[in-house]
Structure 1
């Protein structure tokens, strides 16, 4: 059984079978991406627009490469050089691009709920590439693929997410998907970044040692100052690193085979030390980047084909 909707907005919408269908297809595309000719022209003639209203490196580039490897005509839209700077609304922008016979929108926007809003107002497929503090479903899927490849199964796993939980769309999408799969999720961060964290039904850790101990995978999050409205949850970067940063010393209480993930960009020396981020024995960060292309190929193919099954 595979995912049947023409849009991917939230991991809340995914069943266990849906998640596995994306991961299994992504594994096939990962093999393809190792070939000299990295092409599956299943989307030949399809127009995919990366509608990004926020800055992005990994996600936008990953979706662009994914679309092109599937044969699609992939267009990058940047709000900084568009008519949105002249006061054009989000939906007017989408409608105008839609009029050019766009088939798929990849939407990243600073407002929570924006991807769902676009999906309700266009017949095109819509993939949420991050909407405010809400969700980032393809990031969660690539994280799950990375964890699965390392551990071989999701059975009896404990994953700890550390950092700016309150503002993190990555945390939300991962929590929802991991709970669907039966993974035990633990959370830890500065008190201001843990506001209302109990609503997720996860274990809340009291300190860094508790957060690290017994984890099979640790996802470190960036401090998202751009979403904190000028509020600072800690007196200094040095203090954040001292109490909430991941170092080799802190990893001494972790499982021997623990892996470290980070959605990027990394603030080196803040949430993650370089000796952790660059250690191939524990760091899966570049594996995440590689898996991102394969996951997004799987998502693009699936949602576009679903458009004609509805």
Structure 2
């Protein structure tokens, strides 16, 4: 019984409730892996990790796969689009099947919110959340915090504005919990119909003008298919009201950095000319995803 409990404490389901010390230990370990000169280590030789993506995300899956291979693990990739889940096999049965075959850890991404928590209670191998519904995306927030720490020296005392569809954003939630734990101040900026009311007590909703006066301006990807159900009138109008345009960027403070979890709708939430400008950390974030995920996978399996 104790063994099972020890194992399941290695889950990484989210940052809500995670303390500063634990977050800092992950960031420190990522710094170790970032400067590690050998590209492939045998740290996790003979261990099997399955990437179980019940929702597509090529970029996140590749980032995890690079991290796993750099650690020397054997990698199994599973994508729901071409799997028996389409035939009605439940997510639980799929994960249980892979566990029964002897995998040592599972990286999991899924659309329905709440399912991951249930899985974690029934599965005895560590699970790492690669995005669950509108709930959390902890490794994205960890790589975001790592990027901020590397740039500013520390996270404590920073003001971070998160702009866009807060209601549907797991990135916004994980960043809110993680940044708050690390002593940063978070502000949200969102259209009225994209606000998550329940988060208002943790971070104020501010105007676009106020949001731009922060140390970090984080733009969220807008799901353009939300046109269809009327949440946004058009991509052009969204850009005009909530996009980081070249004109708005000119008003940022000299030290402010621009972030985005990617993939970006260029010229919607972020003008094309800003994606690789001096203030932008977009590709730095992507690069930092690998050492962060190495640290998280190692934590699950150590």
**What is the TM-score with the length of structure 1 in the denominator?**
0.92
Alignment partner, residue 308 of structure 1:
none
Shift in Å, 1:91: 0.7
Measured against aligned partners, the alpha-carbon deviations of 1:198-223 in whole angstroms (never above 9, x if no partner) come to 544212112x211102x111110011
Alignment partner, residue 142 of structure 2:
141
Find the residue that maps to 1:11 and give its secondary structure: coil
Gaps of 5+ in 2: 1-7
Find the residue that maps to 1:41 and give its secondary structure: coil
Find the residue that maps to 2:16 and give its secondary structure: helix
In structure 2, distance between residues paired with 1:252 and 1:225? 26
Shift in Å, 1:229: 10
Alignment partner, residue 117 of structure 1:
118
8 Å CA contact 1:62, 1:293 repeated in 2: yes
Going from structure 1 to structure 2, the CA distance change for 1:198 and 1:137 (only over 3 Å counts) comes to: closer
In structure 1, distance between residues paired with 2:24 and 2:92? 33
Gaps of 5+ in 1: 306-310
In structure 1, distance between residues paired with 2:11 and 2:216? 29
Find the residue that maps to 1:49 and give its secondary structure: strand
Going from structure 1 to structure 2, the CA distance change for 1:247 and 1:12 (only over 3 Å counts) comes to: same
**Alignment of 1:295 onto 2:292:** yes
In structure 1, distance between residues paired with 2:261 and 2:16? 19
**Alignment of 1:77 onto 2:60:** no
Shift in Å, 1:28: 0.8
Shift in Å, 1:272: 0.4
In structure 2, distance between residues paired with 1:235 and 1:96? 44
**Alignment of 1:239 onto 2:237:** yes
Measured against aligned partners, the alpha-carbon deviations of 1:263-307 in whole angstroms (never above 9, x if no partner) come to 11100010000111121x1010111011100000000001111xx
Q: 1:1-310 to 2 correspondence within 5 Å?
A: 5-32=9-36, 35=37, 37-196=38-197, 198-206=199-207, 208-213=208-213, 215-224=214-223, 230-279=228-277, 281-305=278-302
Q: Which has the larger displacement, 112-121 or 192-201? A: 192-201
In structure 1, distance between residues paired with 2:288 and 2:205? 29
Shift in Å, 1:49: 0.2
Shift in Å, 1:225: 5.0
In structure 2, distance between residues paired with 1:104 and 1:43? 11
Shift in Å, 1:191: 0.9
Shift in Å, 1:40: 2.5
Shift in Å, 1:159: 0.3
Alignment partner, residue 3 of structure 2:
none
In structure 2, distance between residues paired with 1:11 and 1:247? 31
Find the residue that maps to 1:296 and give its secondary structure: helix
8 Å CA contact 1:115, 1:127 repeated in 2: no
RMSD of aligned C-alpha atoms?
Answer: 1.5
Find the residue that maps to 2:156 and give its secondary structure: coil
Measured against aligned partners, the alpha-carbon deviations of 1:91-134 in whole angstroms (never above 9, x if no partner) come to 11111111110110100000112222221111111000000100
In structure 1, distance between residues paired with 2:98 and 2:169? 29
8 Å CA contact 1:245, 1:273 repeated in 2: yes
